[in-house]
Amino acid sequence: MKKIIVTTVLALLVSFPVLAATTDFVADNNITVKSVTFGSTITDMLIISGSTAESWSYSGGTFTVANPDSSKFRVGTASTSVTAILVKNSVGTTVACALNSTAGTSYVTLPTTTDTYTIEPSTLTDCTTLCTTITGVSTYYVNDGTYTIPGCGAASCQSPYSLSATTGSVTASCNPPGVIGGGTYTSPATPATPATPATPATPATPATPATPAAPASAASYAQQWQNVLADATTVASGKIEQILSAMGATRNTQAETSAASKYTTPLVSGLKNITAEVKSAITNFVNYGTPTTKVLGAGERAGVVNSYKAAFGRVPATAAQWKDVIAIGNGRWPGETSSAADAKATTNFKKIYLRAPDRANAHDDAAVTVMAYGLRPSARNLNSEKVAIKSFKAIYGFAPTTATNWDAVRAIAYSGAKR
């Protein structure tokens, strides 16, 4: 492919608002990009010699680069007022950051992923504080092995926290331990040593938890239920200000866009007459959470909505429906029931435990309810879950993938039901 070689360019005047190469661009010397927006003022940026890309442009103070190639595209500045240089992708997410510790020499290197990137001079003094600190994190997610934005997602978690379902993602979080609660049953905090799964030819005996801990007091259950109802009212209102106030959070429209694309769109797929208000409520719940579901990561909150959808064939649209979603997220029995979901859960119970469930038995009832509606534990035991996954594979002959599959795994791990 023909390349345009720029031998010496001292400055690009503002009178030329857009400059973009029609073929590959190669800088054979440092190039000054004048009058780039810098807060309420402007500054000059430098394209470092040797930088290559499909093209770059300057328009109205905005400096962008299209599709940097494998030889790297580097940008610096001689301005001592600029303390850091940020690179944002086409959806506004910061994907690279470098401190301008030596003005005129320091630079940021752009990612090579195909996209159009915006270069922004900044007054940040620390590239490690670009995202919210994650509770329980050990190491942070690295975008592609080269361009690291610490704090934008958990890569590993401290014990006893566990990585959320969005493993390997800039939205991954660390979930604290907890127990399933609801009805009159609280699952055991410490299951007994799980049984060793047999080979797939002979279904394994599901893990057998220890004697359940004493249920929480009636007063604490009543308070939790009031909190669930308050959360449901807040989410169903559709008012982002109420959610932000309840969570003590600041609005992040970029995160909302990401959550809508990653979680909301798949959740409403295949459903008819889904309004913008319903989609917005799902996105807000997944992205920001509520006081009673903040211990869950965004992926797990999306999973709660998915379990509700699997049980009732719809996503929540009313305060009553959101009450059941949030109850499920807190390990509480939903108010509405589904005969189809109960029947399917009963069938799965028989396959797992080789007998019919005794719904008068708290453990059996918990197992069927968890499988039917996807109740989440308020504290997790990873050892019990690992053995439950092995048991599921041995019984069904495949790994859990769907919402109902994972509900069965949770029932094996936490219900206390036995063969």
Q: 241-280: per-residue pLDDT in tens?
A: 999 999 999 999 999 999 999 999 999 999 999 999 999 9
Report the number of secondary-structure helices (H) and strands (E) in the chain: 11, 18
Three-class HEC string of 370-414: HHHHCCCCCCCCHHHHHHHHHHHHHHHCCCCCCHHHHHHHHHHHH
Compute the distance between CA of residue 357 and CA of residue 368 in angstroms, rounded to an integer. Answer: 8
Rounded CA gap, 36 and 118, in Å? 11
Digit-coded pLDDT (tens) for 73-123: 999 999 999 998 988 888 777 778 888 989 999 999 888 888 888 999 988
| Residue 16 confidence class, pLDDT cut points 50, 70, 90 | very low
Measure the CA–CA gap between 359 and 380, rounded to whole angstroms: 24
Alpha helices in 161-297 (DSSP H): 218-237, 240-247, 253-259, 265-268, 276-288
Give per-residue pLDDT as tens, 28-55: 889 999 999 998 899 999 999 989 988 8
Residues facing 121 on adjacent strands = 85
Query: How far, in Å, CA of 185 to CA of 164, rounded?
Result: 25
What's the predicted TM-score (pTM) here?
Answer: 0.50
Contact 331, 377 (CB under 8 A): yes
For the stretch 383-394, pLDDT in tens is: 888 999 999 999
- Model pLDDT for residues 155-190, shown as the tens digit of each residue: 777 665 667 655 555 556 666 544 333 333 333 333
Residue ranges of the domains in the chain?
A: 3-129, 177-419
Cβ neighbours of residue 354 under 8 Å, at least 6 residues apart? 203, 419
Cα-Cα end-to-end distance for the chain: 68
Helix (H, G, I), strand (E, B) or coil at 366: helix
- Sequence length of the chain is 419
